[in-house]
A and B are shown apart, each in its own frame.
Chain A
Amino acid sequence: MKTLIFSDDGEIAAQISSYLKEGFENTIVTLKGEEGKCRRSGARSMFIFTGQPTASGLSLALKKLKDQNSADLVFIGSTAIGRDTAGLLAGSGGFKPLSEVTSVQFSNGKATTTRYLYGGKSVLTEESDSNLFVVAPGISEASLTENETEITEISLDQSPVTVEGEDQKSTGGADIEKAKVIVSIGRGLGKPDGLKLVEQLASAVKGEIAGSRPVCLDYHWLSEDRQVGLSGKKVRPRLYIALGISGQIQHIAGMRGSRTVVAINKDKSAPIFEECDYGLIGDLYTIVPKLVTALTS
């Protein structure tokens, strides 16, 4: 089957292309500057869009590419602009979308897919004749080939929505998706000053620091690229230490793949204790120093 794969995040596009290795003829598309991994993800052909991306501009350009390449199936990485682009394609006709898929298999012209539902409380398995899949980040590891795919540049079509400038978001430069050990903090940290203690633990276990949504988005104690969860990063470390995180389903959905989970929380009934291997009930400010001492002695 011929596919058209797009993400404004080159890593996600490469993940999808790697996932669809067997039995697919992939055309991969990303934005200029994001092409690195995509070039070596085993796709037959590759395009990069130049110019300011908007969902409307992208949906027009992708529709054209789909027709030119007579692609049967379209895969779009689930990012803010990716979901909008997919929505526009589905709304303007000809596409049957499925959102947030975490796996997909094709047989007898049907797709069997899985996705999380209810904020991560359940896994939904569905069968459909969908032809547009919005794919959750992390569907596979981007496996890279020796050969580089030839790139053709396409300038994005005029869009009725225009971009008048942009601001880069500050990033912490961390790649928590690859981290083997993560020390993750929640609102229970109470104050940004508490980070000093967290850093001691992180250095004792050689881990990256990550956090829940409020810590990254509302309080900015950490940069946004360190957010774990349904709307953040999906991480799968060997060790995940959750400090002062209640363990709401949307958070769990991002760290469920961890091998060993340690939780510290002063509330005995916090849901994180349902999702941990070891749980210490108490104040993190008294427990963490003891852990650090025990680990470093």
Chain B
Amino acid sequence: MPYNIIVLIKVIPDLEQIKPNPTTGEIVTDRTPLRLETLSENAIEAAVQLKEKYGGKVFGLIFGKPESAPMLKKAFAMGVDDGIVITGYKGNNPVYTAEVLCGKIKGMQYDLIIAGNQSADTYTGLLPGIISGKLGINLLGNALTIALEERKIRVKSTLEKKIQNLNATLPAVVSVTQETNQPRLPPVMQIMAAGRKQIVTEAAQPQTMTGTLQISNKAPRSERKRQLYEKPEEGIAAVVRAIKEEIR
């Protein structure tokens, strides 16, 4: 049977391009180019695969900024049918993010919500649980595989030491891991088609965010020696000395 799937998509600064301010060490990401968050790509792939298998529609939900809009197009190219960018994202605050996303989700028809289990930039891993708690629906976390049958869902959930077979009824929130799948690279035709799609944006509700006060956000100081040898044979003696010192 066909399912309505909502996929939660985060847009993040490209981590590789974040550079601390050389004098203060403070990290500012205002100008860093944006990209799809790694686990959100796995979530999109999982949602699109379920649609391909069972039929239905995938709706993408981004809580971001106006600049996030091109990333929704990328999601469309990967097979997401429809979506919206909610603007007004102010930074890492999972409770507020969940409040804004749930405000939107509550007015929608859905069977399944898919998210990443831990986002690549802020790494809270809390959002799937908070959303599930707020909506009062089942949570099946860290899914390696997802199977649906009528109103039943089965998931292989990967924990540190074991894999659990979880069962529940829909609607449900499922989080996926990096090992769940390999996100597809959409073909050029789909990218072009997605490029022509209209992007709908709407402002976040509620607008006020309460929470934490940032005191500082600095690159951890590295006091490494950084003795590099381009001709490795010249460095072996120094390295052996250092190794012997440490394993004495």
Contacts and interface: CB of A to CB of B under 8 A. Distances in A.
Contacts of A160: 138, 168-169
Nearest to A279: B228
B1 interface: no
Nearest to B120: A119
A167 interface: yes
B2 interface: no
A244 to B, nearest CB: 14
B167 A128 contact: no
B127 to A, nearest CB: 7
Contact of A119 (B94, B121, B161, B225): B121
A71 interface: no
A191 interface: no
A126 B213 contact: yes
Contact of B237 (A84, A171, A294): A294
Given A88-B133, A122-B218, A262 B178 contact: no
A171 B160 CA distance: 10
Contacts of A106: none
B139 A278 contact: no
Interface in A142-168: 160-168
Contacts of B232: 264, 280-282, 286-287, 290
A80 B158 contact: yes
Contact of B218 (A78, A123, A250, A280): A123
Contacts of A125: 214-217
Interface in B202-242: 211-220, 222, 224-230, 232-233, 235-240, 242
Nearest to A276: B224
B95 interface: yes
A97 B218 contact: no
Contact of B228 (A56, A80, A238, A281): A281
B60 interface: no
Nearest to A167: B163
B222 A91 contact: no
Interface of B: 13, 15, 18, 20, 27, 29, 92, 94-95, 98, 117-118, 120-134, 136, 138-142, 154, 157-169, 175, 178-179, 211-220, 222, 224-230, 232-233, 235-240, 242-247
Given A117-B122, A164-B165, A280-B229, 9 more contacts: A88-B130, A91-B133, A122-B218, A123-B216, A134-B126, A162-B167, A166-B163, A230-B123, A278-B239
